[in-house]
Amino acid sequence: MKTFLKILLAAVLLVIAIKFSPVLFFLALAGLLAAVVLGAVGISLLAVLAAVVLAFAVALSPIWIPVLIVIGLVSLFRRDRSAPPVAA
């Protein structure tokens, strides 16, 4: 008798799952649509952030380009103290 009840319960659950499948389908579709919209918003925000960073880099280039040149010249002409002196 237990086996019959288990089969009957499985059949009832299957009928309920089939009846609710269109609702679940539309809920899943709505979730995917929301994910697409949020993804598009996120990508556009990343593009705006990249544009702002690029604008700051261009606006501050009169400051950081000469600083980089000075740092490069100092490191070019600095003596390396860890290397042994070259014998002539």
pLDDT for 78 equals: 83
Query: From the centroid of its chain, how far is CA 70?
Result: 36
pLDDT at position 35 is: 95
Please state the pTM of the whole predicted model.
0.49
**Token digits for 9?**
């319960």
Domain chopping of the chain, boundaries: 2-77
Q: What is the mean pLDDT of residues 65-84?
A: 83
Report the distance separating Cα 54 and Cα 49, nearest Å.
9
Q: Kindly state the percentage of the chain with pLDDT values over 90.
A: 72
In the predicted model, is pLDDT for residue 36 greater than 80? Answer: yes
Cα separations in angstroms, 50 against 42, 56, 57 = 12, 10, 11
Q: What is the per-residue pLDDT for 41?
A: 94
